[in-house]
A and B are shown apart, each in its own frame.
Chain A
Amino acid sequence: MMDKYSLPRKIAIYFCIALFLTFMLLPFVEMFIASLRPLTHLFHRPELEVGETMDFMDFISRFWSDKMSFQAYSDMWVTVPQLGRYIFNSVFLATAVTIMSMIFVIPAAYAYARFSFRGKSVSLTLFLAVNMFSGAVLLIPLYKLLRAYGMLNTYWAMIIPGVAFLIPMGIWLLKSFLEKIPYELEEASFVDGASRLYTLRRVILPLAVPGLVVVGVAIFIGAYAQQFLFAITFNQERDYMPLPQGIFEFIGYQRVLWNEMMAASLVGILPVLLIFLFLQKHLIAGLTQGAVKE
């Protein structure tokens, strides 16, 4: 009964959701429409007389014209020949960062979740303190560092800093999930004579899967989103550029090909959106199970 809504309330809820969704999706809708219009129509205002303002028909005319087509979607591959590569790079980089991060995060999170030991809270605070810096702050020394290791203009140039800034968040998130797993299970395993490592591998990890999924996804999205800054500073090699950096190639000597840029952006994010769609049920389930408390 508690979950039954009166009709006015129902309408209100749906209305609010519509508003919310409009806000969230407006840029994408507009990007899609922009990608369908030829450049001349994009930069065209409806004809108005002096002193007149736009009316409804004029407004609608900016959405629809008989010149709309998917032309931009085929042209963009020609304008920026390596577009496919850029899309691949974005996904590849995010995946690489995620895998590498998880390798560092899982053992550390387990240690923080299970044991109390000397230097625990200090080190944990230090890890969290790293979250306070954004990459933008450390760009110059990072540049020198990567150059010293000879890693500029390679995939590593974007993976290495990416991992560094995601490890703290990963440890902290995974720690709170692992804390929820009852210690009795481990105790039982020790009683049976298993070593710590074995316990970690065979007992804990399977139970931690929802948490791992959540943390993995969060890291992936974090990596995918933050590629841009590291890419433009540390990598000038076109072969390794991720999508946001490659998009800049639509900005030419004298003009910007907006419609193709929008089309390329939308197509570029499609793979990740699809992956997310598949995983989102697990994501919510994992989050709820481990309801992040601290």
Chain B
Amino acid sequence: MFKPKTKAQTTTLFAWALIAPAAIYMFLIVVWPLVETFRLSFTNSNIGTLMEGHDYIGWDNYEKALGGRKFPAIVNRTFYWMFLSVGLKMILGLIGASLLASNIRARGVIRALVMPPWIVPIAIGCFGWLWLYNGHFGLLSNFAEMIGITDGPFSFLAYKKSAFYSAVVTDVWIGTPMVTLFFLAAMQGVPRDLYEAAYVDGASRWYRFRRITMPQIMPTVITMALLSAIWTFNSFEIIWILTEGGPRGATTTLIIDTYKTAIFSYKFGAGATRAVLVVLLLGVFSIIYLTVLGRVSKKFGYAGVAK
């Protein structure tokens, strides 16, 4: 056995020994499927040839996918979906956290009441929203009728625009509690004397929020935004349960398209291609995001952003 010569080497060995279990696990479970997905994307594997017998067809799948009429629209839609949903989640999260951080009674109870959308399995939450969006019998449609916005039932999921925004609403609903919680924790970590000093100086609440709270919690906001963006980009269950990508592809994001091709239509090779494209796009986006962030933080001097 090779004997470590320096302290640094002992440390390295020990550190890797600690990380090894996790790393090996990930390698076995995730890395191999990733490689396999990448490999499958060059084949024409389908239901009869899942295990063996598929042929390599080079870049055909990629040409077909990228050249498809609908592909640019799907990509645009996915990014629009992501920006809109994440943006709303951030805003609602900030509002929610501010509300919960304020000095009101029964804070603990209210905090607990905000959590259910996060804790409950996504599928079950979506069934609830499915029922709410029902045209003839659903609560939202009936309510709109009663107060006179519409003069008949309105099926939210039957029209392209309304289906898209309904899906956004549900996605925001599911993501907001976690964002609120993390923002709240960050806000509560801001030293109180900062606020008191500003208060004594006569600063308004809005000023205190803008100049003290925001900068202090900015690292959390940034990381949450990126995480949320990644999750939202890949958000599958919500859209699938509500609309399965319809009507007429109005809610088909990249991940829906991938699933539809791979699992729904049993075209594993073509589906794998789309999966690779999803990862590529997301990777590029993350790199851009972090680079822009690096520049912005240098400019404004936010602390604690660098890894």
Q: Which residues of A contact B (CB under 8 A)?
A: 1-5, 10, 13-14, 16-17, 20-21, 23-28, 30-31, 34, 42-45, 53-56, 58-59, 62, 90, 103-105, 107-108, 110-112, 115-121, 123-124, 127, 129-134, 136-142, 144-145, 160-161, 163-165, 167-168, 171, 196, 221, 224-229, 233, 242-244, 247, 258, 261-262, 265, 268-269, 272-273, 276-277, 280-281, 283-284, 287-288, 291-294
> Nearest chain-B residue to A265 (Cβ)?
B124
- Contact bitstring B1-29, A, C-beta under 8 A = 1, else 0: 00000001001101110110111011001
- Contact bitstring B114-146, A, C-beta under 8 A = 1, else 0: 111111111111011101100011010011011
Q: Measured between alpha carbons, how far is A292 from B221 in the docked complex, in Å?
A: 10
Chain B residue contacts of A281, Cβ below 8 A: 108
Chain A residue contacts of B176, Cβ below 8 A: 24
CB distance from B229 to the nearest CB of A (A): 10
Q: From known contacts A132-B279, A137-B275, A277-B112, infer whether A2 and B136 are also in contact, taking CB-CB under 8 Å.
A: no
Q: Please tell me if the beta carbons of A20 and B114 are within 8 angstroms of each other in the complex.
A: yes
8 contacts between A and B (CB under 8 A): A13-B104, A34-B131, A42-B137, A103-B21, A117-B16, A138-B37, A140-B36, A262-B128
CB distance from A266 to the nearest CB of B (A): 9
A-B interface, 4 closest residue pairs, ranked by CB to CB distance from nearest = A291-B189, A27-B128, A134-B234, A287-B185
Q: Please tell me if the beta carbons of A59 and B286 are within 8 angstroms of each other in the complex.
A: no
Chain B residue contacts of A243, Cβ below 8 A: 121, 124
> Number of B residues contacting the other chain (C-beta, 8 Å)?
103
Q: From known contacts A133-B234, A164-B30, A229-B236, infer whether A140 and B272 are also in contact, taking CB-CB under 8 Å.
A: yes
- 8 Å CB interface, B27-56 against A: 29-30, 32-34, 36-37, 40, 50-51
Q: Which residues of B contact A (CB under 8 A)?
A: 8, 11-12, 14-16, 18-19, 21-23, 25-26, 29-30, 32-34, 36-37, 40, 50-51, 92, 95-96, 99, 102-104, 108, 110-125, 127-129, 131-132, 136-137, 139, 142-143, 145-146, 148, 151-153, 173, 176-177, 181-182, 184-186, 188-189, 195-196, 199, 219-220, 223, 227, 230-231, 234-237, 255, 258-259, 262-263, 268, 271-272, 275, 278-279, 282-283, 286, 304-305, 307
Partner of B26, one of A167, A242, A284: A167
Q: Please tell me if the beta carbons of B146 and A58 are within 8 angstroms of each other in the complex.
A: yes
Interface class of chain A by DSSP: helix
* Contacts A42-B137, A132-B234, A132-B279 known; 20 new A-B pairs at CB < 8 A: A14-B104, A16-B99, A20-B92, A27-B132, A31-B127, A103-B21, A115-B14, A117-B8, A120-B15, A130-B26, A132-B283, A137-B255, A138-B30, A140-B50, A165-B30, A229-B236, A265-B127, A280-B111, A280-B112, A292-B186
Chain A residue contacts of B127, Cβ below 8 A: 31, 247, 261-262, 265
